[in-house]
Amino acid sequence: MIEINGIVEKIIYRNEENGYTVAVFSSENESLTIVGNCIELKTSMEYELKGDFIHHKKYGEQFQIQEVSEILPQSEKGIIKYLSSGIIPFIGEKTAKKIVDSFKEETLKIIEENPERLLEIDGIGPQKFEKIKSALSENKDLREIMIFLNKYDLGTSLAMKIYKEYDAMAIDVIRENPYRLAEDIKGIGFKKADGIARSMGFKEDSQDRKRAALKYTLSMAALEGHSFLPKDVLIKRTKKLINSSDEDLESEIGKLSLDDRFFIEKTEDEVNCYYAPYLRAENYIAGKLNEIVNYKFDDSMEISDYLKGIEEKQNFKFAKNQSLAVEEAVKNGMLIITGGPGTGKTTTLKAIIEIFELMEKKVLLAAPTGRAAKRMKQATSRDASTIHKLLEIGFSNDESINYGYEEENLIECDVLIVDEVSMVDLMLMNTLLHSIKLGTRLILVGDKDQLPSVGAGNVLADLIESGKIKVVNLNEVFRQSEESMIIENAHLINSGKPPKITNNREFFLINESDENMSLNTISELVSKRLPNYYGIESKEIQVLSPMKKGVVGVANLNRTLQKTLNPKGSEILVGENILRLGDKVMQTKNNYNLEFRIESDFYVEDGKGVFNGDIGYIVEVDEEDRSVVVLYDDVKKVKYEYSDIDDLMLAYASTIHKSQGSEFPIVIIPLHYAPYILLTRNLIYTAITRAKQAVVLVGEYKYLDIMIKNNRVSKRYSNLCKKLVDFNV
């Protein structure tokens, strides 16, 4: 093994998941290419590398890294560069200079052995010192973990996740049972955990291995939307991971049932394997809906005269099913209203709200996301909130719901109307129903043809399919602005027919077979062509892609659009990505503890909670502290400390799934090759119905045709429908 010392000149490539790095390294005044899985390297930093020279067919001689050691700088200039490199959050170049001016060459020794002396530095007060001290401690633990994990090809990003999950105990936890990584760490699958375990000496037929494979298979099923897996399906899927007999796996399934997180439900004709919360949720939802639907109300009223009054006042006539929806809302304890774009859902909702207000009933409005709630508020001219805020749910750090149901915390209302119900998964519906008093009318509104929830379950479809809950389908399309091409084409696509592409001001197709050319076209459309054509700002345009990876996947689209729309400004590096002043960003997970301040012309409000899918703009960047401030909805400011910034991603482009519940003036959709499972009718239908003013398709028509013809709706294992029927609702 050869040892070389030198300085990293440039990082050419780095995979944050496994740490694989390609960089230019200067050693003894010669530049060479270094490659391999290693800890995160910093440019301009000095390292000792151990490894061997190899010859690559295409790229020639390279140095294959086996081990990396950091060489701490000795000069004052080198120490300043080291401290301000991002190695310690909250120390930027200005602070680094002050520290080195005070402590000279002794700086690193003092920081390591006597960090309290940093309080001597002008600008480092007690509060900032505590942050730096905490970061130093975390840095030390993290570097030990990274060195330990490096031999297993786990990079910086995963090392950070592992550290956040297990803290300083990470190495001990992994040594005891590396299979926990697949269970606890997003981004580590069974195969990666299994590779670590096998290299640590765990046997192929170990009980831990078989049990971990079963758990992982069941957890992957939940991510696909399944509430459970039949035992035979669980065994079949698990055997794709490990070479084990049906008998051995069946035996382990039996032992899994001793774990209170799992449950085996046996019926006359099948055995189903659940994560226990999903089983409890199915059972509770079926029982609670039985009570709601069968509740007898004695306050119904004749509404025909009321509806006629609205028609005369607003000079229009309700469609048959709109009138029916209003009547059924008053008559029943529960109602589902479905309908596509332009079918009058908003008009119907407003009529329902008004008649309940005439009856002096308290009506509350809610939706699954902040964006959907905002749309609901604008459409009805009434307050609307997210379901989570309405319920004031407590959450743990992993976003699992804290089920603390108390009688005094039940929702105080007579009528609860929930919009965008196709997005509501099994666990959220369970929580919602736990919080509703018997005697509360429940009205669910949604488009049954949109994408199902990201989380487990198929709630809206199951409720409708059961046939036990009153459903009114709004099926008459009203022309908006005389002729809305977006609405017309959405309904054509939903019925399996090709859209009318006339390239008028509402619906365009730009044919482009090359993905890179499509990428360039999208960049031009967002930055120049569409803003000039419509007289709007680029921020009113949203790119929606079916996929995350690839040339026209979300990640690459965001990098490209950032360079085009926001190339310069104060910035910080987060993993492989840059967050810059002025960037459009999205919150990627619910964070109920993040503080915000709303400042408007009329009031100031402080509160907590930022939600998955919220889109805003970075209005402040502190390069010293590595923190940013994001402005949501033009009034809501949220400060992200360095520890929370991982929850942000660029949002010039997003997946179609992430766009559910939102509307944008203009939507651009790339049409290129993607896995067949993503090229579905309900995906393109959902994307098109996000647009209010125009839709621009960029790519090949054949992929649009494939999506329209592919009406394959992935089967989700759910017993909610069956349980609703069995309850004789």
| Positions at the binding site for ATP | 342-346
Task: Give yes or no for a contact between 130 and 89, defined as CB atoms under 8 angstroms apart.
Answer: no
SS3 725: helix
Place of tokens 């488009």: 447
Structure tokens at 100: 């080195």
Structure tokens at 194: 């299994």
Query: Which residue type, as a one-letter code, is found at position 477?
Result: V
Task: Give yes or no for a contact between 683 and 707, defined as CB atoms under 8 angstroms apart.
Answer: yes
Torsion over CA: 185, 189, 190, 191 (sign) = negative
Task: Give yes or no for a contact between 6 and 71, defined as CB atoms under 8 angstroms apart.
Answer: no
536 secondary structure, DSSP code: -
Name the β-bridge partners of 508: 696
Strands 471-474 and 334-339, by their bridges, are parallel
DSSP structure string for 156-177: HHHHHHHHHHHGGGHHHHHHH-
Residue 656 to residue 546: CA distance in whole angstroms:
6
Residue 683 to residue 663: CA distance in whole angstroms:
15
Strands 507-511 and 363-367, by their bridges, are unpaired
- Burial string for 295-333 (b: 16+ CB within 10 Å, else e) reads eeeeeeeebeebbeebeeeeeeebbebbbbbbbbbbebb
Residue 416 to residue 436: CA distance in whole angstroms:
9
Residue 46 to residue 64: CA distance in whole angstroms:
17
Compute the C-alpha angle 427/187/555, nearest 5°.
Answer: 95
Place of tokens 């050693």: 27
546 secondary structure, DSSP code: S
- Least Cα distance to 449 among 546, 340, 337 occurs for 340
Phi first, then psi: give them for residue 547, nearest 5 degrees: -135, 165
Compute the C-alpha angle 336/221/272, nearest 5°.
Answer: 80
Known binding residues are: 342-346
Residue 691 to residue 544: CA distance in whole angstroms:
10
Task: Give yes or no for a contact between 153 and 37, defined as CB atoms under 8 angstroms apart.
Answer: yes
**Distances from the Cα of 314 to the Cα of 311, 327, 357, angstroms:** 5, 19, 19
**Distances from the Cα of 236 to the Cα of 160, 241, 263, 586, angstroms:** 34, 9, 19, 38
Phi first, then psi: give them for residue 209, nearest 5 degrees: -65, -45
